Amino acid sequence: MDAYRVGIDIGSTTIKVVVLDRNHTIIHKTYDRHMSSISASLKRMFEDLKLHFGAQKMHINFTGSAGLSLAKNIGAQFTQEVISATSALRHHVDDIDVCIELGGEDAKIMFFDGANVEQRMNGTCAGGTGAFIDQMASLLNTDAAGVNELAKNAEKLHDIASRCGVFAKTDIQPLLNQGARKEDIAASIFQAIVNQTVGGLSQGRKIQGRVAFLGGPLSFASELRKRFIEFLHLKNVFIPENGEVFVAFGAALEAQETPIDIVSIIDRIKAYRKAGKHNTTQTIAPLFEDKAAYQAFKKRHQKASLDRTPLQQYKGNAYLGIDAGSTTTKMVLMGENHELLHEYYAHNRGNPVELVKQALLALYAELPAGIVIKKAYSTGYGEALIKNAFHLDGSEVETICHYNAAKFFNEDVSFVVDIGGQDMKCFKVENGVITSIVLNEACSSGCGSFIETFSESLGY
- Does the residue 101 lie in any domain? yes
- Does the residue 238 lie in any domain? yes
Looking at the structure, do residues 11 and 106 belong to the same domain, yes or no? no
Looking at the structure, do residues 236 and 254 belong to the same domain, yes or no? no
Radius of gyration of the CA atoms of the chain, in A: 27
Packed helices 38-53 and 67-74: angle between N→C axes, nearest 10 degrees: 60
User: In the chain, what is the straight-line distance between the N-terminal and C-terminal CA atoms, in Å?
Assistant: 45
Looking at the structure, do residues 100 and 240 belong to the same domain, yes or no? yes
- Does the residue 296 lie in any domain? no
Amino acid at position 5, single letter? R
Instruction: Look up residue 261 and give its DSSP letter.
Output: E
Looking at the structure, do residues 227 and 270 belong to the same domain, yes or no? no
Last residue of a domain, one of 261, 277, 293: 277
Sign of CA pseudo-dihedral 129, 104, 166, 119: negative
What CATH code is carried by the domain that includes residue 355?
A: 3.30.420.40
Sign of CA pseudo-dihedral 236, 242, 245, 251: negative
Amino acid at position 192, single letter? A
Looking at the structure, do residues 151 and 173 belong to the same domain, yes or no? yes
Q: Which residues contact 191 (CB under 8 A, 6 or more apart)?
A: 157, 160, 227, 231
Range of the domain at 225: 94-244
- Does the residue 289 lie in any domain? no
Looking at the structure, do residues 167 and 40 belong to the same domain, yes or no? no
Looking at the structure, do residues 110 and 240 belong to the same domain, yes or no? yes
- Does the residue 282 lie in any domain? no
Looking at the structure, do residues 85 and 120 belong to the same domain, yes or no? no
What is the pLDDT tens value at each position of the chain, 460 positions in all? 468 999 999 988 889 999 999 999 999 999 998 888 888 888 899 999 999 998 889 999 999 988 888 898 899 999 998 899 999 999 999 889 999 999 888 889 999 987 788 988 886 566 678 888 888 888 888 999 999 999 999 999 999 987 676 678 778 877 887 789 999 999 999 999 999 899 888 888 999 999 999 988 999 999 999 999 999 999 999 999 888 899 999 999 999 999 998 889 989 998 888 876 666 566 788 899 999 999 999 999 888 889 999 999 999 999 999 999 877 899 999 999 999 999 999 988 767 888 999 999 999 999 999 999 999 999 998 899 899 999 999 999 999 999 999 999 999 999 999 998 878 889 999 998 999 999 876 666 788 877 887 787 777 8
Report how many helices (DSSP H) and strands (DSSP E) the chain contains, helices first.
Answer: 16, 19
- Does the residue 216 lie in any domain? yes
In degrees to the nearest 10, what's the CA dihedral of 320, 324, 330, 331?
10
pTM of the model: 0.72
- Does the residue 290 lie in any domain? no
Of 51, 7, 36, the closest CA to residue 266 belongs to 51
In degrees to the nearest 10, what's the CA dihedral of 147, 150, 152, 158?
-80
Looking at the structure, do residues 392 and 411 belong to the same domain, yes or no? yes
Q: Residues 62, 15: contact at Cβ < 8 Å?
A: no
Looking at the structure, do residues 100 and 179 belong to the same domain, yes or no? yes
Q: Residues 117, 125: contact at Cβ < 8 Å?
A: no
Q: Cα(336)–Cα(402) distance, rounded to whole angstroms? A: 20
- Strand partners for 372: 317
Looking at the structure, do residues 412 and 346 belong to the same domain, yes or no? yes
- Does the residue 295 lie in any domain? no
Q: Cα(113)–Cα(86) distance, rounded to whole angstroms? A: 12
Q: What total number of domains does the chain contain?
A: 3
Looking at the structure, do residues 155 and 197 belong to the same domain, yes or no? yes
Residues in the chain: 460
